[in-house]
């Protein structure tokens, strides 16, 4: 009789773990949805790899914030939808989504690395869809 309760419990636990919300991904998604470079920069590492279409480079967190502020101002963000996220064996996390602006949509990718006591963005890409 005990075996019949174990499997449903394990299935429910597995479903919970798969669909459990990740607060940092939610916070980054909200910052992207609002086109808020200042809020997004709270999660930047000291140096951030940033790709905006064909332009790419490594920027200090302050420079990256300014570049994104200009990008968001020119494009006028309408929405952001996180489509996929995951993690690697080394503890890194990533998110992939679509940033919709008045000037078109951008496939968006960001990479988070664990750094005590939180996760930080080391790379963020906006590529034309």
The boundaries of the domain holding residue 40 are 22-128
Q: What is the residue-wise DSSP string for the chain?
A: -HHHHHHHHHHHHHHHHHH---HHHHHHHHHHHHT-HHHHHTTEEEEEEEEETTEEEEEEHHHHHHHHHHHHHHH-EEEEEEEEEEE-TTS-EEEEEEEEETTEEEEEEEEEEEETTEEEEEEEEEEE-
Flag whether pLDDT at 19 surpasses 60. Answer: no
- How many domains are there within the chain? 1
- Within a domain: 12: no
Residue bearing the bigger pLDDT, 2 or 63? 63
Domain of residue 66, CATH code: 3.10.450.50
Structure confidence by residue, pLDDT tens digits, 47-78: 999 999 999 999 999 999 999 999 999 999 99
- Within a domain: 8: no
Structure confidence by residue, pLDDT tens digits, 35-47: 999 999 999 999 9
Question: Which pLDDT score is estimated for 6?
Answer: 53
Question: Which pLDDT score is estimated for 22?
Answer: 72
Task: Specify the pTM.
Answer: 0.81
């Amino acid at each position: 009789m005990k075996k019949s309760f174990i499997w449903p419990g394990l299935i429910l636990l597995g479903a919970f773990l798969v669909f459990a919300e990740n607060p940092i991904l939610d916070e980054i998604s909200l910052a992207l949805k609002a086109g808020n470079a200042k809020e997004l920069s709270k999660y930047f590492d000291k140096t951030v790899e940033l790709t905006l279409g064909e332009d790419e480079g490594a920027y200090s967190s302050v420079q990256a914030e300014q570049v994104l502020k200009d990008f968001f101002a020119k494009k006028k963000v309408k929405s952001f939808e996180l489509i996929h996220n995951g993690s690697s064996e080394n503890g890194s996390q990533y998110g992939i989504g679509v940033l919709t602006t008045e000037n078109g949509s951008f496939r968006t990718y960001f990479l988070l690395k664990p750094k005590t006591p939180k996760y930080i963005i080391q790379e963020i890409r906006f590529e034309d869809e």
